Amino acid sequence: MSGPASRLWIAWETQRRSLGLAPLLGADLRLFLHKGWSRYPRCLAGTAAVFPKTPGKIVFVQNPSMILAAWACLLKGLLGFPLVVDRHSNFAYLSGRKAGLKRRLSDLLSDFTLRHADLTLVTNGELAERVERAGGRAFVLPDPFPDLSAWRPVAEAAEAEPRSIREILFVSSWAFDEPIEAALEACRRLRGEAVVRITGRVPAGFARKLRNAPDNFIPTGFLSENDFFAAMAKCDAVMAVTGREATLVCGGYEGAAMGKPLILGDSSALRAYFDAGCVYTDGSAADLEARIRELIGGLPAHRAAISAWHARREVEWRGRLSALEGVLAGLVAPAPALALDGRGLAADAMAGSPGAPAL
């Protein structure tokens, strides 16, 4: 693996994926976290100052920000460095944004960055195919699993406790794509069976609805990282439900790393990757109620399945990282006879193979 002298990772916001991937790829992580009206001028200037002035140093940029990715593509043409954009699942068509002027501008910038980046990292095969259709070059790399081994004794102690009422941790940002009202209604029918604790700051517009919430639907408010993982360690299962297609949820990676069975949305991408130790819901109140009961009824089996799944995916992920290193080496010293087949990568990733990419 190359060291920090040959790789640079730039981000304009803090995301666990960048914090985890940069050191694993031996990249020097530079964060530009300016706020307010001067954010973009200051971030653009600071970023330009750290871009390598000689070819050969690979630059990774996190998208979001789309502006950062576009800026990097422009400067790449001037300075000649290899550029990798970590796009994970940041695509406007998944955001629910209406097809107005802002969406069209976002799509234009998106296609520009996909065509001009040397490589675009995404989390699943569906998004890899979209990158390729836009004329880009994709590599599928799901998020690295967080190391939660320090929390495992707490989790195991919680699992050993006799409980008549099960605890579900709903990992939420209170976003449009999460079935929060449906979960609240499902809890009315699950009194005496389950408690759902939902994380994240409660939006002001939701406060009135919570006045009539059942007592087994409990907002935690914002949690520090330590408090968040403490709550996760003590729960029986993690719920991370989104209606977005082609999106692998952070709460799924975290819950699995903690050894907790998962309640997830019912997309093809989620079913393909999180293929054991989980139940899948369409997000309606009736289906959430049914899926929570299904998980509670088979909790020991689901616990064993998610632990085995996590061990398997960890090995596969290391294989994907090794394959990525091979591709990165080709960006610095390209071999004209070799060609990356993005569709082969996508099929390989969806199949869960840890093998090298089709080159």
CB 292 within 8 Å of CB 168: yes
Measure the CA–CA gap between 176 and 203, rounded to whole angstroms: 11
Largest CA distance in the chain: 65
3-state SS track over 216-277? CEEEEECCCHHHHHHHHHHCCEEEECCCCCCCCCHHHHHHHHCCCCEEEECCHHHHHHCCCC
The arrangement of secondary structure in 4-145+315-350, i.e. its CATH architecture, is: 3-Layer(aba) Sandwich (3.40)
pLDDT at site 100: 73
Low-confidence ranges of the chain (pLDDT < 50): 1-4, 337-339, 342-359
Give which of 356, 352, 342, 354 is closest to 127, Cα–Cα: 342
Domain ranges within the chain, ordered by starting residue = 4-145+315-350, 149-311
pLDDT at site 99: 65
Cα angle, residue 302 at apex, residues 299 and 303 outer, rounded to 5°? 85
- Does domain 149-311 fall under CATH 2.40.240.20? My reply is no
pLDDT at site 354: 32
pTM: 0.88
pLDDT at site 54: 75
